[in-house]
Amino acid sequence: MDYSMNDTIAALSTAVGDAGIAIVRISGPNAFPAADRLFLSGGRTRPKKHSGLPDGGSGPFGRPYGDRAGQAPDGHVGKMKSHTVAYGQVADPADGGLIDEVLLLKMASPRTYTREDVVEIHCHGGRVVAGEVLRAVFAQGVRPAEAGEFTRRAFLNGRIDLAEAEAVMDLVRSHTARGARAAMEQLDGRLSELVAAMREALLTLIGQMEANLDFPEHDTGEVALDMAGPILAELQAELRRLLDSYSQGRILREGLNLVIAGRPNAGKSSLMNRLAGYDRSIVDEIPGTTRDTVESFINLRGFPVHLLDTAGLREATDAVEKMGVERTLDALERAELVVAVFDGAGMPGPEDAKLVERLKKSGIRSLYVMNKADVMDPTVETALRELLPDRPLAVSALLGTGIGALMDRIAETASGNRFESDNALLLTNARHRHLLEMAESALAEAVKACREGMTHDVVAFLLRDAWSLLGGILGADAGEELLDSIFSRFCIGK
Ligand SMILES: Nc1nc2c(ncn2[C@@H]2O[C@H](COP(=O)(O)OP(=O)(O)OP(=O)(O)O)[C@@H](O)[C@H]2O)c(=O)[nH]1
Ligand SMILES: [Mg+2]
């Protein structure tokens, strides 16, 4: 695609279709002359019925009333002050025919969206009129803008960085007020500022390390660690916080994956039905009732949650149950939160201990639930409390006791305890996350290199790596290919 910056480009910047107004945006070195060739400033064209003047009489500014078709444009755009609006008409220079009555907004470089000269023609909405205005603009040597090309120019001309450009797209696309707010925060440059500050801190460190290279007697990992350790730890913490915020953002968009697991007959399906608020899953006193995963999408305290009831975990005897258990194990791998259910009606067995071990090892966030609290006797409770980590919750899926507390704990996990602070910066973009993850692992390697007593140049190299990865978020050294892939997802006219 040819994105020559010398071209003047134009597009319809409002949605196509029936609307009160439409805006044709022109940007580039020829924006003003091109607009000048089309624009007739001031004056109504036709006499008002009550004006009492004969057709062709003189108006208040010495302009003739009447049909102005065929009249020459008056070079008004060139003379207008920047950032002002003029009323007038667009005429087709080819035949002088009037196309529409418009407001023309002139904005001179550099205080514009693209930093170039920009003209916006606010014309009547609807496919036909706006299309005709646009066609007349194109006839003046102005080419149609590619998708996202205005924003691309804003980036290439240094008005916004890449993260901000991407935020523009997120803002245009956001479906929820919460999503729009997150995009606006980034458009406002909050992510960019944070990333820029991190890069600056890294650069300072790199400078110090490289200065130390000149003093070989100091050239030990010890010194590097002393100097860099606290700063690197802080940077890592910041990166992790940002990366965590991505999963929060994802949960808001797509829902938390919650898996209910436990041995047969523990009451998993009963709990699922309690949480879902209806009888989604079959409950029976025979162990091994649920043989496949059963899903339900619920709104839990305002958070979208995918509930997954699973087949009870035990050494299955028949083939179908075996497959069910396989599916449970699969589901556990993909879970973001596990509600592990234990049967309070009897003493815990080896399957229970095995589940606890599995969850501890996996590192998946887990809530431990002692079910059947209505019939749980104290010796069982003591044994369960000994077995289960954290603060196990006593509930009765049958009676509904303790379910509110369980929901609170689930919502806490979904929110990452962070949603109270509504203005926390949320990472929303997958490209940004990828770069931050790589930067984080470069930093982790740098910390390790310090610890292992590597030389300064090794550490400095890793820090440089992190520094340039962070730069990728802002669009430093962004190649054409990356820009194409980002901006082609924009709409035309943005
Ligand atoms: N007393 C009491 N009984 C319960 C409670 N929760 C479930 N039950 C009973 O326990 C039995 C098993 O319940 P389910 O919900 O089917 O248990 P499950 O864990 O899904 O069992 P499988 O699907 O076989 O793995 C049923 O008879 C339930 O009525 C509870 O809180 N108290
Ligand atoms: Mg079940």
Which whole number is the average pLDDT over 14-18? 80
Distance CA(108)–CA(212), nearest Å, equals 50
- How many residues belong to the chain? 494
pLDDT-wise least confident of 104-118, 213-227, 397-411, 475-489 = 213-227
Q: For residue range 412-442, what is the model confidence (pLDDT) as tens digits? A: 887 765 444 455 677 878 788 899 999 999 9
Q: Is the CB of 312 under 6 A from ligand 1?
A: yes
Distance CA(229)–CA(233), nearest Å, equals 6
pLDDT, position 47: 45
pLDDT, position 421: 46
Distance CA(236)–CA(233), nearest Å, equals 5
Distance CA(1)–CA(324), nearest Å, equals 52
pLDDT band at residue 48 using 50, 70 and 90 as cut-offs:
very low
Q: Is-contact 444 236, C-beta < 8 A?
A: yes
Structure tokens at 17: 């279709």
Q: Is-contact 139 93, C-beta < 8 A?
A: yes
Q: For residue range 29-44, what is the model confidence (pLDDT) as tens digits? A: 999 999 999 999 986 5
Q: For residue range 215-246, what is the model confidence (pLDDT) as tens digits? A: 555 554 455 567 778 888 889 998 998 888 88
pLDDT, position 133: 94
Checking DSSP bridges between strand 118-124 and strand 98-107, what pairing results, if any?
antiparallel
Q: For residue range 238-251, what is the model confidence (pLDDT) as tens digits? A: 899 888 888 776 67
Does 398 have pLDDT greater than 90? yes
**Could you give the angle at which helices 456-474 and 430-451 cross, rounded to 10 degrees?**
170
Cα dihedral 28, 30, 35, 41 sign: positive
Q: Report which of residues 405 and 228 the model is more confident about.
A: 405
Atom 13, ligand 1: which residue's CA is nearest? 267
Q: Is the CB of 265 under 6 A from ligand 1?
A: yes
The single-letter code of the amino acid at 428 is T
**Which parts of 224-364 are beta strand (E)?**
256-262, 294-300, 303-309, 337-343
Q: Is the CB of 437 under 6 A from ligand 1?
A: no
Q: Say whether 73 sits in a helix, a strand or coil.
A: coil
Ligand 1 atom nearest to CA at 286 = 24
Which whole number is the average pLDDT over 127-140? 91
pLDDT band at residue 107 using 50, 70 and 90 as cut-offs:
very high
Widest distance between CA atoms in the chain: 105
Atom 7, ligand 1: which residue's CA is nearest? 267
pLDDT band at residue 63 using 50, 70 and 90 as cut-offs:
very low
Ligand 1 atom nearest to CA at 266 = 19
pLDDT, position 215: 59
Residues 6+ apart with CB under 8 A from 207: none
Q: Which helix (H) or strand (E) holds 160?
A: none
Checking DSSP bridges between strand 39-41 and strand 21-27, what pairing results, if any?
unpaired
Atom 30, ligand 1: which residue's CA is nearest? 372
pLDDT, position 264: 92
Ligand 1 atom nearest to CA at 371 = 31
Mean model confidence pLDDT for the chain: 85
Ligand 1 atom nearest to CA at 264 = 25
Q: How many helices (H) and strands (E) does the chain have?
A: 16, 13
Q: Is the CB of 371 under 6 A from ligand 1?
A: yes
Which whole number is the average pLDDT over 324-337? 89
Q: Is the CB of 283 under 6 A from ligand 1?
A: yes
Locus of tokens 């399906």 = 269
The single-letter code of the amino acid at 493 is G
Q: Report which of residues 240 and 304 the model is more confident about.
A: 240
| b/e 419-450 (16+ beta carbons within 10 angstroms → b) | beeeeebbbbbeebbebbeebbebbebbbebb
pLDDT, position 125: 86
Q: Is the CB of 432 under 6 A from ligand 1?
A: no
What are residue 486's phi and psi, to 5 degrees?
A: -75, -50
Ligand 1 atom nearest to CA at 265 = 21
pLDDT, position 71: 75
Which whole number is the average pLDDT over 309-322? 87
pLDDT band at residue 51 using 50, 70 and 90 as cut-offs:
very low
Q: Report which of residues 54 and 368 the model is more confident about.
A: 368
Which residues does residue 106 pair with via DSSP β-bridges, in sequence order? 84, 119
Which whole number is the average pLDDT over 398-424? 78
Ligand 1 centroid to residue 251 C-alpha, Å: 29
Q: Say whether 145 sits in a helix, a strand or coil.
A: coil
pLDDT, position 216: 57
**Of all residues in the chain, what percent carry a pLDDT higher than 70?**
86
Atom 16, ligand 1: which residue's CA is nearest? 283
Q: Is the CB of 267 under 6 A from ligand 1?
A: yes
What are residue 125's phi and psi, to 5 degrees?
A: -75, -175
Q: Is the CB of 245 under 6 A from ligand 1?
A: no
Structure tokens at 113: 């969206």
> Which residues, chain by chain, have CB under 5 Å from ion ligand 2?
268-269, 289-290
Distance CA(24)–CA(11), nearest Å, equals 6
The single-letter code of the amino acid at 334 is R
Ligand 2 centroid to residue 279 C-alpha, Å: 12
Distance CA(159)–CA(164), nearest Å, equals 10
Q: For residue range 465-480, what is the model confidence (pLDDT) as tens digits? A: 999 999 999 988 888 8
Q: Is the CB of 403 under 6 A from ligand 1?
A: no
pLDDT, position 310: 92
Distance CA(123)–CA(313), nearest Å, equals 67
pLDDT, position 159: 92
pTM assigned to the model: 0.59
Ligand 1 centroid to residue 289 C-alpha, Å: 9
Ligand 1 centroid to residue 340 C-alpha, Å: 14
Q: Is the CB of 290 under 6 A from ligand 1?
A: yes
Ligand 2 centroid to residue 397 C-alpha, Å: 12
pLDDT, position 254: 67
Distance CA(119)–CA(34), nearest Å, equals 9
Ligand 1 centroid to residue 335 C-alpha, Å: 22
pLDDT band at residue 56 using 50, 70 and 90 as cut-offs:
very low
pLDDT, position 340: 96
